[in-house]
Amino acid sequence: MLDWSDRHCRYLHRLLSRHALLYSEMVTTGALIHGDRARHLDYSAAELPLALQLGGSEPADLAQCARWAQAWGYSEVNLNCGCPSERVQRGAFGACLMREPALVADGVKAMLDAVSIPVTVKHRIGIDKTESYDFVRDFVGALSLAGCRTFIVHARNAWLQGLSPRDNREVPPLRYDWGYQLKKDFPMLEFVINGGITQTDQIEQHLQHVDGVMLGREAYHNPWWLSEWDQQFFADASQAGLTRESVEQKMVVYITEQAALFGTPWQAIARHMLGLRHGLPGARRWRQVWSDHKLKELPAEQVMALAHQPLA
């Protein structure tokens, strides 16, 4: 979700669900150690609970970044062992780390020794076209011995050669049953399933077999879906009166604040809410107005008013 689930996206998602655990974009250990740490780690307290997703492989670096995550107030540190992009592979992290479970285990242990917040791992079920349940079972087993208790299973292989990151989310076949089998083989561990989930009934089906469900791009493109989750999955009806219009208005207030404090242009924030009226009449025109760079000099309130004007 690099360049997608930034702090502005997460602010929108938290307006829609008070209870869902939100995840940051993947941030590399190098970016935190050598770059603008505050830019990568700062967030609004309204986003909590919030997990920081790290990309890296050196145990000492991972431990230091986990310490910063805890000091910044993050709820969890998540190590990404699932991203298949060539850029990530060149950095020797992401899905290619599944070939080195001992190294990943060392990194997990180093982070657990450094912090008191949960340390979790997101991973695929295999590498390239060779499919073997034993491979992912042994990977989980090695990390569990290092102390990891929660695994987020993207239930596809990662093909490290010949597929783009987008194709890696669609071409390798989904094997949810392998995620279910991990839960059977390691009943004391927590497993969260991920990949290809687009409907509420799918979530309900998965929750009969595993402990949780992670959503990515579907939640981004159809964010209003999140507004159902508190009542359906967390027994909290306090969001029952929420409307798309009230969420949009709160986002305009947020956009105005960010412009005043940091000079953030409204387009950088509004891009994350273009799916808010997904499937509704007039949604296309509404999106066109909110993404019209010719309106960039207008304040967000005026842009919202234009988005809701009836067609002449």
Q: How many domains does the chain contain in total? A: 2
Task: Note whether residue 112 is domain-resident.
Answer: yes
Same domain, 248 and 221: no
Greater pLDDT, 5 or 129: 5
Task: Note whether residue 2 is domain-resident.
Answer: no
Phi, psi of 193 (to 5 degrees): -95, 145
* Per-residue model confidence (pLDDT) at position 85: 63
Same domain, 214 and 278: no
56-115, pLDDT tens digit by residue? 999 999 999 999 999 999 999 999 998 776 655 455 678 889 999 999 999 999 999 999
Look at residues 178, 231, 170, 173 and name the one whose alpha carbon lies nearest to residue 209: 178
Same domain, 68 and 179: yes
Contact 260, 208 (CB under 8 A): no
Task: Note whether residue 1 is domain-resident.
Answer: no
State the pLDDT confidence band at 45, using cuts at 50, 70 and 90.
very high
Contact 136, 158 (CB under 8 A): no
Task: Note whether residue 239 is domain-resident.
Answer: no
Same domain, 90 and 210: yes
* Per-residue model confidence (pLDDT) at position 129: 81
* Per-residue model confidence (pLDDT) at position 126: 92
Same domain, 151 and 261: no
Domain end, chosen from 208, 234, 260, is at: 234
Residue from 81, 83, 96, 148 carrying the catalytic annotation: 83
Same domain, 28 and 152: yes
- Determine how many CB atoms are found less than 10 A away from the CB of residue 145: 12
Task: Note whether residue 60 is domain-resident.
Answer: yes
CATH number at residue 282: 1.20.120
* Per-residue model confidence (pLDDT) at position 1: 65
Same domain, 27 and 149: yes
Same domain, 128 and 276: no
Domain of residue 278: give its range. 244-307
Q: Is 96 a catalytic residue?
A: no
* Per-residue model confidence (pLDDT) at position 185: 98
- The 3-state secondary structure of 148-215 reads CCEEEEEEEEECCCCCCHHHHCCCCCCCHHHHHHHHHHCCCCEEEEECCCCCHHHHHHHCCCCCEEEC
Using the predicted structure, report yes or no on whether residue 163 has a pLDDT greater than 70: no
Domain end, chosen from 191, 206, 234, is at: 234
The model scores a pTM over 0.85: yes
221-262, pLDDT tens digit by residue? 999 999 999 999 999 998 888 999 999 999 999 999 999 999
Domain end, chosen from 201, 234, 267, is at: 234
Task: Note whether residue 95 is domain-resident.
Answer: yes
Same domain, 248 and 208: no
Name all contacts of 260-263 with Cβ < 8 Å and 24+ positions apart: none
* Per-residue model confidence (pLDDT) at position 47: 96
Greater pLDDT, 286 or 170: 286
Task: Note whether residue 312 is domain-resident.
Answer: no
Task: Note whether residue 115 is domain-resident.
Answer: yes
Same domain, 228 and 85: yes
∠ CA 41-42-45, nearest 5°, is 125
Same domain, 272 and 125: no
CATH number at residue 108: 3.20.20.70
Q: Do you know the residue count of the chain?
A: 312
* Per-residue model confidence (pLDDT) at position 14: 97
Same domain, 94 and 175: yes
- Determine how many CB atoms are found less than 10 A away from the CB of residue 18: 15
- Determine how many CB atoms are found less than 10 A away from the CB of residue 142: 17
